[in-house]
Amino acid sequence: MRYLPLSGADREIMLGRIGVSAVDALFADAPPECLRDQAPDLPRRKGEMAVERALGRLAARNVSAGSVPFFLGAGAYRHHVPATVDHLIQRSEFLTSYTPYQPEIAQGTLQYLFEFQTQVAALTGMEVANASMYDGSTACAEAVLMAQRITRRKRAVLSGGLHPHYADVTHTVCGFAGDSITSLPPDVAASEDIISQIGPDTSCVVVQSPDVFGNLRDLAPIAEAAHRAGALLVAVVTEAVSFGLLTSPGAQGADIVVAEGQSIGNALNFGGPYVGLFAARSKFVRQMPGRLCGATVDAEGRRGFVLTLSAREQHIRRDKATSNICTNSGLCCLAFTIHMTLLGGHGLRQLARINHANAVALADRLAALPGVSVLNRSFFNEFTVKLAGRDAAEVVERLAACGVLGGVPVSRLLPGAGLDDLLLVASTEVNTDEDRAALADALAAVLGEIAAC
């Protein structure tokens, strides 16, 4: 088998050195009745060609986003990733290396983590960032746990604009950890009064902007109110490109910022792997979960980087650790760093302007259709469309049948919330005039009950 270098002759020699006649002698501690005498009932091995055929058939049963006009967002966004990024992350020394526990032979990984941390801190407007989390949703839950540790309070308040998956993950994780979580009802119009929910028992307020409905929220007054009550503001961002054009959460007073970094450097990948960004004020650094990379010097005084402040982590503190996390998002984190290096702050702003311009053009076009209204006053690259009297999920199915992936029905994320006529539509730099025309025409046809295709 092409991945197994040992030959029969090798095995014989090795058994001889060990002093047993067959490899099963090495499984002697397993209960004999549990030691299987046959290979598992699974298909026979396949050469590369056969594997490609089998998996290729499965891949062909999916409609890829690039093959049709595509307008989905809701926490995962289709952006153009430069060829350089994917090429570099496939270099053996990045792809096949491990967590940099032996820093002398891992300076490549450690330096890009240091660069990543610097980029994330700058983008979020915060003082310190960690070396990434699994994704934005788990980062959000970890932020609430962190706020609980810092304030020693147990009640967190979640905005009604928070992505429902993020809210569910936070409820699940923090609920099991003994916190109480108050979720405000879905806030389509960004009109909730979250400040009135802050009390002396509040550990943190969690607010997403742009929110799941696309609204931009002013965090500064919420931060002030939270701080007056001795609570923290956790800001959530699910579209990292928005950092290029919006006032940073840090500048608005956030104490912890968590984000989904997938938009920069990483493909859609049907939901994973993604990369969670986590940043905070430096006074909270010892309460931060996840890995941290720090600068230092080697025995000859040369600058180098190491994982540091490890005493917070599970392999040392064990049951008193800040979190149980061991893995970060390594390669996804590298992809983010490389793409962000190519863009720089100016490039990111330009990219963000293109996103916003495309979204504005699309919003205007859709709002002109009968039976369609755009609900947001302000938005970045995603907005909520109301399809008067129609079931948005059904409309989306009809659009898909006509070869247009038109958006995410709110009912997919919030079933039974009475929001079935709402559709989340995202538009990034990948959309062209033709795409916009295709969506508008198909939507008009579906809504007009005319055969759309």
Partner 1 sequence: MLNRQGRPTIAAGDAPVVASAAEHHTFTGNRALQQIEPLLFEIGSTERCGVDLDEPAPFTARLGALEAAAPVDLPALSEPETMRHFVRLSQKNYGIDTGMFPLGSCTMKHNPRLNERMARLPGFADVHPLQPVATVQGALAVMDQLAHWLLTLTGMPAVALSPKAGAHGELLGLMAIKAAIAASGEGATRNVVLVPESAHGTNPATAALLGFRVKSVPAREDGAVHLDDVAGLLGPDVAAIMLTNPNTCGLFEPQIVEIAAALHAAGGYFYCDGANFNAIVGKVRPGDLGVDAMHINLHKTFSTPHGGGGPGAGPVVLSERLAPFAPVPFVRRGADGQFALVEQAGEGDAAQAFGRLTAFHGQMGMYVRALSFMLSHGGEGLRQASEDAVLSANYVRASLADLLTTPFGDRPCMHEALFDDAWLKDTGVTTLDIAKALIDEGFHPMTVYFPLVVHGAMLIEPTESESKVSLDLFIAAMRDLAMAVKRGDVERFTGAPRHAPLRRLDETRAARQPVLRWTRPQPVA
Partner 2 sequence: MADTRYTKDHEYIQVAGDIGVVGITDYAQQQLGDIVFVELPEVGRSFGKGDEAAVVESVKAASEIYAPVGGEVIEVNAAIEGEPAVVNEDPAGRGWFLKLRIADPAELGGLMDEGAYRDYVAALG
Which amino acid is present at 95? L
- Which of 263, 250, 233, 217 minimizes the C-alpha distance to 121? 250
Pick the piece of the chain touching partner 1 (CB under 8 A) from 146-154, 181-189, 333-341, 439-447: 333-341
Which amino acid is present at 238? T
C-alpha span between 326 and 173 (Å, rounded):
17
| Coil, strand or helix at 244 | helix
**Element (DSSP H or E) covering residue 202:** strand 202-208
Query: Least CB distance from residue 320 to partner 1, whole Å?
Result: 7
* 311 part of the interface to partner 2, by CB under 8 A: yes
C-alpha span between 253 and 227 (Å, rounded):
9
- The site partner of 304 among partner 1, partner 2, none (C-beta below 5 to 8 Å per kind) is partner 1
* 17 part of the interface to partner 2, by CB under 8 A: no
Q: Which of residues 61-100 bind partner 1 (CB under 8 A)?
A: 61-67, 70, 72, 74-76, 78, 82, 84, 86, 88-100
- Which of 272, 262, 278, 276 minimizes the C-alpha distance to 335? 262
Closer residue to partner 2 (CB): 311 or 367: 311
Using the rule CB under 8 A, which residue among 8, 60, 450, 451 binds partner 1? 60
Q: Give the CA diameter of the chain.
A: 82
- The site partner of 450 among partner 1, partner 2, none (C-beta below 5 to 8 Å per kind) is none
Query: Least CB distance from residue 299 to partner 2, whole Å?
Result: 15
Residues constituting the chain: 453
* 310 part of the interface to partner 2, by CB under 8 A: yes
Query: Least CB distance from residue 312 to partner 2, whole Å?
Result: 8
Using the rule CB under 8 A, which residue among 69, 129, 234, 421 binds partner 1? 129
- Which of 206, 140, 133, 203 minimizes the C-alpha distance to 173? 140
* 152 part of the interface to partner 2, by CB under 8 A: no
C-alpha span between 155 and 157 (Å, rounded):
7
Closer residue to partner 2 (CB): 163 or 291: 291
Q: Is the peptide bond before 100 cis (omega within 30 degrees of 0)?
A: no
Using the rule CB under 8 A, which residue among 225, 231, 277, 340 binds partner 1? 340
Query: Least CB distance from residue 214 to partner 1, whole Å?
Result: 10
C-alpha span between 377 and 126 (Å, rounded):
28
* 283 part of the interface to partner 2, by CB under 8 A: no
- The site partner of 174 among partner 2, partner 1, none (C-beta below 5 to 8 Å per kind) is none
